[in-house]
Amino acid sequence: SYELTQPPSVSVSPGQTARITCSGDALPKKYAYWYQQKSGQAPVLVIYEDSKRPSGIPERFSGSSSGTMATLTISGAQVEDEADYYCYSTDSGSDQSVFGTGTKVTVL
């Protein structure tokens, strides 16, 4: 079955840039989506279609995709950005969707 691989954790100091990668064979053909999940809460969409930002999401969140890797960048990370982040996409050969393994971002 299709898999999306993320690093388990990323740690940055406040004001630094955090980059979270998501690797998947179908990413050259399929969009990546990124979700932020804070403890005890439902996930929130922060990036859709590789690089678009929903209304209400701070500009410090950006996304990109190249080849088999998508990247979520938090420029000038804030303490309130501490959360788990998941990428999401679809297999190119089927209609199977999948979430990435998840990355815990620590800002301290």
The residues binding another protein (CB under 8 A) are 1, 33, 35, 37, 42-45, 48, 54, 84, 86, 88, 95-102
In the complex, the smallest distance separating the C-beta of residue 73 from another protein, rounded to whole angstroms, is 19
Sheet holding 69-74, edge to edge: 18-23, 69-74, 61-66
Q: Tell me which DSSP letter residue 95 carries.
A: S
- Give the whole-angstrom CA distance, residue 12 versus residue 67: 26
Q: Which residues contact 96 (CB under 8 A, 6 or more apart)?
A: 1, 2, 90
In the complex, the smallest distance separating the C-beta of residue 8 from another protein, rounded to whole angstroms, is 10
- Give the whole-angstrom CA distance, residue 102 versus residue 85: 6
In the complex, the smallest distance separating the C-beta of residue 89 from another protein, rounded to whole angstroms, is 10
Is 69 or 98 the residue whose CB approaches another protein more closely? 98
Is 2 or 76 the residue whose CB approaches another protein more closely? 2
Is 19 or 53 the residue whose CB approaches another protein more closely? 53
